[in-house]
């Protein structure tokens, strides 16, 4: 079931855990316990800061919270009634002690924590350094701390100072800060990143997720976009970034602590399905230069070398392999470079033809997949350039590649990948468009138009999510079904494969995906009376394939299949041949996988849940396969 309240914790930018506390309790204990309740998010460092006698005391360590605990035991912190804490998922700068949050300003006045990505941090950092500010980390986040420290040093009120800072920042952020000279006050701001206020009696909280404070209160306030909150033990003041009073949305958390980690969802997988609009948006964030050209900050391969590429090989496993199959259509279409897609476990054993002008692209959510890692090493031995598309900063695969594009989806906890698939497709599209730009295979306005459509998909994915009730009802109909088939053409074929894989992984059903045009070459023999057949219908703009898939629907229906059709919202040609129609937003062919995959994910999740299976931890499977 979806949660009763839709609050910021249900959607994330970079999956950092944030908590701030002000009140009579021991702040360090409140903050660290809140961080523990957000461990499910995944992180690579943790830290806490408090204010005592006009001084900021802080401890932070790379690794798990147990490392932070050990640091605090070795170097105890004085008792305090105000504190902030953070678990970091590294993006800018590796997972080190110095890069961990909180960050303290050069003048010692400000401690600050940050969730998100500050796109214009490089210019701001250079400005601060020119003014004599010394930086201790590689992060984008420290820029905000140093800017805020400079503002308060000039006598600006803390809330006004934070407004001045956020109005200079570009990107996505939640910022929480405290001033050593104001030991009963927190200020926080949000843009495109979660922030919620916990309302207590004589105490208040700010956090990225209500899980952080649900032990102490179920009363909360959801902040809107571009809002700032000023918090003391007895007051909460919400304004916009201009300082005007702003409307906020109080709510009561209706679920208990055990559900808090999942933000009210029954399964992490279901939660991650609903996080996909934000995950795709975050993957696309900050990808343009000021001149409007596409940029990939993590892609440090000279353009001359990219122009010499004459073959691309995408290497991946499982769901990532299907994302690569989708990407092949787009990359070949946009770049006119031949593109192959290989299963990583087979790649190096078939003696592939790789040269210095071959580009190998690897897809791995964890960045630790053993088969993919060995494929990288083989490709580099053959002097090919390797680009990793990965969700985990500092993982082995990005480290051993020539370049990396991070998806910024946040950790996936459910074993069956969902947002990993969509963000990998989006990242592959970014790579394809960038190659087209570098090689001048497309004009700048053509690339901008495609990027604009890609950037428009997150709200369309949300629209699909908002209309999933019929898919859930359909799952109840097939709780005892033994076999399900999926059909698609063009990019719809890998979507069909991914839909089948999800049923295999978590519902333990026989499920197969086929190219619809291959039906008469064998698979149609599997069609029996009443068997459910999902069909992904291409957009009507591709008239030839659209009409052929309608013929395929007629073929299976004539043999007794129950046809479940995913088609555009205004496609009435499919209506006579579909037993159930699930309508998709109208998009171009290459964008359709970003909306068409979502109902298939939810069907599998709902069916497995109804069958009483552990959706997040399916039998025999692990999240990251680290052995060959």
- The 10s digit of each residue's pLDDT in 458-503 is 999 999 999 999 998 999 999 999 999 999 999 999 999 999 999 9
Residue 161 has pLDDT above 80, yes or no: yes
In the predicted model, what is the mean pLDDT of residues 258-283?
87
* pTM, 2 dp: 0.73
Banded model confidence at residue 511, pLDDT cuts 50, 70, 90 = very high
Orientation of helix 121-130 relative to helix 141-153, angle to 10°: 40
Task: Clarify whether residues 32 and 181 are in a common domain.
Answer: yes
Residue 626 has pLDDT above 50, yes or no: no
Task: Clarify whether residues 438 and 487 are in a common domain.
Answer: no
Supply φ then ψ for residue 339, to 5 degrees: -130, 130
What is the rounded CA–CA span in Å between residue 549 and residue 586? Answer: 17
What does the pLDDT read at residue 4?
28
Largest pairwise CA distance in the chain: 80
Task: Clarify whether residues 89 and 61 are in a common domain.
Answer: yes
126 occurs within a structural domain: yes
What is the rounded CA–CA span in Å between residue 591 and residue 454? Answer: 7
Task: Clarify whether residues 324 and 386 are in a common domain.
Answer: yes
Please tell me what DSSP assigns to residue 575: G
Task: Clarify whether residues 412 and 498 are in a common domain.
Answer: no
Banded model confidence at residue 264, pLDDT cuts 50, 70, 90 = confident
Candidates 16, 339, 390, 605; catalytic one: 16
Banded model confidence at residue 10, pLDDT cuts 50, 70, 90 = very low
Question: Bigger pLDDT: 9 or 34?
Answer: 34
Banded model confidence at residue 413, pLDDT cuts 50, 70, 90 = confident
Candidates 295, 311, 586, 623; catalytic one: 623
Kindly report the CATH number assigned to the domain that includes residue 477: 3.40.50.10490
616 occurs within a structural domain: no
Instruction: Determine what percent of the chain is predicted with pLDDT higher than 70.
Output: 94
Question: Bigger pLDDT: 300 or 432?
Answer: 432
Residue 583 has pLDDT above 90, yes or no: yes
265 occurs within a structural domain: no
In the predicted model, what is the mean pLDDT of residues 51-61?
97
Residue with tokens 């006050």: 185
624 occurs within a structural domain: no
What is the rounded CA–CA span in Å between residue 557 and residue 363? Answer: 37
Banded model confidence at residue 193, pLDDT cuts 50, 70, 90 = confident
Banded model confidence at residue 260, pLDDT cuts 50, 70, 90 = low
Banded model confidence at residue 542, pLDDT cuts 50, 70, 90 = low
What is the rounded CA–CA span in Å between residue 425 and residue 280? Answer: 9
Banded model confidence at residue 158, pLDDT cuts 50, 70, 90 = very high
Measuring CA to CA, how many Å separate 231 from each of 178, 188, 196, 487, 596? 10, 8, 12, 54, 43
Q: Which of 397, 429, 455 represents a domain boundary (last residue)?
A: 455
Task: Clarify whether residues 289 and 401 are in a common domain.
Answer: yes
617 occurs within a structural domain: no
Strands of the sheet with 103-104, listed across from one edge: 103-104, 110-118, 171-179, 186-191, 227-231, 236-240
In the predicted model, what is the mean pLDDT of residues 556-583?
94
What does the pLDDT read at residue 13?
37
CA angle, 412 as apex, 411 and 413 as ends, to 5°? 110
For the chain, helix, strand, coil in percent to 5 are: 40, 25, 40
How confident is the model over 311-337, as pLDDT tens digits?
999 999 999 999 999 999 999 999 999
What does the pLDDT read at residue 1?
30
443 occurs within a structural domain: yes
Task: Clarify whether residues 241 and 307 are in a common domain.
Answer: no
What does the pLDDT read at residue 288?
82
The count of domains in the chain is 3
Give the total residue count for the chain: 628
* Domain coverage including residue 438: 271-455
Average pLDDT, the chain: 90
112 occurs within a structural domain: yes
Task: Clarify whether residues 379 and 493 are in a common domain.
Answer: no
Is 623 part of the annotated catalytic residue set?
yes
Is 339 part of the annotated catalytic residue set?
no
Q: Which of 412, 435, 455 represents a domain boundary (last residue)?
A: 455
What does the pLDDT read at residue 290?
75
Kindly report the CATH number assigned to the domain that includes residue 244: 3.60.20.10
286 occurs within a structural domain: yes
Closest to 101 in 3D by CA, of 17, 163, 173: 17
Task: Clarify whether residues 428 and 528 are in a common domain.
Answer: no
Closest to 319 in 3D by CA, of 364, 271, 272: 364
What dihedral angle (degrees, nearest 10) is formed by the CA atoms of 585, 591, 593, 598? -40
Task: Clarify whether residues 439 and 468 are in a common domain.
Answer: no
What does the pLDDT read at residue 3?
29
Task: Clarify whether residues 428 and 564 are in a common domain.
Answer: no
Task: Clarify whether residues 246 and 275 are in a common domain.
Answer: no
What does the pLDDT read at residue 9?
31
Instruction: Report the chain's C-alpha Rg in angstroms.
Output: 25
């Amino acid at each position: 079931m979806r949660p009763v309240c839709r609050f910021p914790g249900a959607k994330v930018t970079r999956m950092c855990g944030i908590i701030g506390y002000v009140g009579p309790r021991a702040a360090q204990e409140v903050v660290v316990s809140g961080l523990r309740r957000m461990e499910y998010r995944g992180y690579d460092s943790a830290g806490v800061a408090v204010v005592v006698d006009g001084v900021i005391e802080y401890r932070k360590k790379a690794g798990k919270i147990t490392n932070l605990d050990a640091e605090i035991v070795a170097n105890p912190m004085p008792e305090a009634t105000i504190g902030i804490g953070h678990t970091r998922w590294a993006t800018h700068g590796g997972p080190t002690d110095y890069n961990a949050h909180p960050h303290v300003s050069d003048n010692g006045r400000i401690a600050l924590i940050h969730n998100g990505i500050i796109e214009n941090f490089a210019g701001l950092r250079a400005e601060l350094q020119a003014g004599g500010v010394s930086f201790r980390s590689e992060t984008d986040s420290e820029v905000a701390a140093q800017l805020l420290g400079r503002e308060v040093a000039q006598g600006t009120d803390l809330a006004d100072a934070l407004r001045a800072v956020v109005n200079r920042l570009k990107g996505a952020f939640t910022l929480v800060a405290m001033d050593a000279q104001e030991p009963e006050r927190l200020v926080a701001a949000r843009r495109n990143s979660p922030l919620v206020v916990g309302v207590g009696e004589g105490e208040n909280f700010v956090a990225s997720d209500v899980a952080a404070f649900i032990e102490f209160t179920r009363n909360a306030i959801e902040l809107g976009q571009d809002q700032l909150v000023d918090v003391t033990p007895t007051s909460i003041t919400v304004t916009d970034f201009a300082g005007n009073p702003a409307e906020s949305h109080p709510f009561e958390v209706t679920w208990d602590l055990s559900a808090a980690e999942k933000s009210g969802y029954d399964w992490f997988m279901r939660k991650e399905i609903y996080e996909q609009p934000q995950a795709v948006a975050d993957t696309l964030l900050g990808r343009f230069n000021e001149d409007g050209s596409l940029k990939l900050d993590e892609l440090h391969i000279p353009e001359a070398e990219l122009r010499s590429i004459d073959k691309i090989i995408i290497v991946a496993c499982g769901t990532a392999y299907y994302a690569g199959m989708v990407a092949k259509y787009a990359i070949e279409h946009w770049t006119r470079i031949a593109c192959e897609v290989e299963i990583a476990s087979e790649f190096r054993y078939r003696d592939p033809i790789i040269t210095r002008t071959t580009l190998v692209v690897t897809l791995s959510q964890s960045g630790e997949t053993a088969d993919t890692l060995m494929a990288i090493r083989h490709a580099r031995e053959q002097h090919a350039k390797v680009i990793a598309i990965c969700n985990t900063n500092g993982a082995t695969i990005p480290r051993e590649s020539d370049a990396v594009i991070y998806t910024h989806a946040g950790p996936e906890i459910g074993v069956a990948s969902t947002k990993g698939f969509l963000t990998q497709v989006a990242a592959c599209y970014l790579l394809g468009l960038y190659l087209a730009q570098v090689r001048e295979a497309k004009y700048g306005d053509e690339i901008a138009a495609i990027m604009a459509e890609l950037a428009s998909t997150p709200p369309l994915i949300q629209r699909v999510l908002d209309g999933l009730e019929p898919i859930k009802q359909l799952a109840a109909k097939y709780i005892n079904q033994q076999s399900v088939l999926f059909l698609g053409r063009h990019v719809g074929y890998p979507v069909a494969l991914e839909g089948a894989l999800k049923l295999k992984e978590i519902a333990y059903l026989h499920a197969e995906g086929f190219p619809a045009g291959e039906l008469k070459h064998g698979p149609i023999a599997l069609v029996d009376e009443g068997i459910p057949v999902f069909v992904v219908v291409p957009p009507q703009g591709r008239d030839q394939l659209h009409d052929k898939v309608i013929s395929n629907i007629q073929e299976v229906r004539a043999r007794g299949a129950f046809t479940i059709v995913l088609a555009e919202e205004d496609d009435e040609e499919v209506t006579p041949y579909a037993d159930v129609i699930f309508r998709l937003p109208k998009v171009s062919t290459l964008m359709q996988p970003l909306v068409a995959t979502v109902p298939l994910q939810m069907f599998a999740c709902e069916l497995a849940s109804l069958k009483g299976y552990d959706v997040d931890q399916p039998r025999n499977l692990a999240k990251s396969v680290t052995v060959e």
